[in-house]
Structure 1
């Protein structure tokens, strides 16, 4: 077993930090996609028209019940054969966003259903248009209830980013594996990657708990 080398850590750290930047970028962009699409799915599933709710519900269940890695492979390796192709990072962001949008849709749904029925009735009594009711009355209250759970999915997405290395996204795991394949020493780079995940995800989870207490009370 090789001894730990801080000099080796120093040499590979710039490459790992580059991977960390890509990891954070994929997480942030994927979260934006997931939050936006999740809201679209949640509102669509409340439509009174079955022509809207049925296909959206089928799509959400399909995505939710298939592995993220399979979806990434489909987007990156299969779609280009149909003339639809994106770069590795763009594909990773789309894959993460689509996958997690099906979970954030459920979070939004729970937040919307938690809004008291009286709020809908008050908006109707004031003759507010349906769009105005959603934007000014319902969604602000639903967001307040949904924020803690949405934050948890951001952390989950961050921890799932190593899957992007399977489609050649140069995230932290991809960089660590590249370093190990070159130097034949995986201990330091893989360990550093694990530490970086903990250093970012644990404080974030603590902040989310604090935020949840403030929003609930």
Structure 2
């Protein structure tokens, strides 16, 4: 029995909740779920890379460069992500010479990635500042270059302790993807709105979307919590 035939077995038109309607719209919402997951992970990758770049720029010994990065961080954190998404998708293409049009998916992952890179940057900064000063002095004693110091000594010690915090932001970004509906990306929320407007029935699609978000985010939160406890236990044993 295929999916459509299985949906026909439900006959509950008189009920508040229609299982036949639920069965018919579920494949479309499932497809939209993969768009949501893809947007989350791509935006998260952008945030991780750009966040590290912002952290290094903020630590620059050149004051104008340092001030520029600090100003960028404060500006992005001080403005709503929805405004940033609107600017990237609708406003940026109209800028002469440098503006260009991009898909809703590209604009969405850039908007979320740039916005959350400023928070990821703070996590990186806390990890870097936790590296003992003696490690920096040891790198100088070994005549390491700046690149070798960062890649071989600082980052391998700074990033592992902050992995659980980075995981929390992955979950947060996943729950922020409904913002992308504002720029026409057909993620789960936008698909639910489209289906509800098409059939004049919003109860089932929005309820399904809520359960899908819960189904994906709650186990991830438990996993991040266990990872955090494991990392804390490992570092307590290391420092004991």
Q: TM-score range by the shorter chain?
A: over 0.9
- 1:191-210 paired onto structure 2 within 5 Å: 191-210=207-226
In structure 1, C-alpha distance between the alignment counterparts of 2:174 and 2:153, rounded to whole Å: 32
TM-score between the two structures when normalised by the length of structure 1:
0.98
In structure 2, C-alpha distance between the alignment counterparts of 1:141 and 1:171, rounded to whole Å: 37
Q: Which runs of 4+ in 1 moved over 4 A?
A: none
Partner residue in 2 for 1:121: 137
| 1:167 paired residue among 153, 177, 183 | 183
In structure 2, C-alpha distance between the alignment counterparts of 1:62 and 1:2, rounded to whole Å: 51
Q: Quick one: structure 1 residues 46 and 116, their matched pair in 2 at CA, closer, same or farther if it must change by over 3 Å?
A: same
Aligned residues: 217
- 1:5-154 paired onto structure 2 within 5 Å: 5-82=18-95, 83-154=99-170
User: 5+ unaligned residues in a row in structure 1: which ranges?
Assistant: none
In structure 2, C-alpha distance between the alignment counterparts of 1:48 and 1:80, rounded to whole Å: 34
TM-score between the two structures when normalised by the length of structure 2:
0.88
Partner residue in 2 for 1:214: 230
Deviation of 1:18 after TM superposition, in Å, equals: 1.1
Higher relative contact order (CA 8 A, sep 6+): 1
In structure 2, C-alpha distance between the alignment counterparts of 1:107 and 1:6, rounded to whole Å: 45
- Give the superposed CA RMSD: 1.1
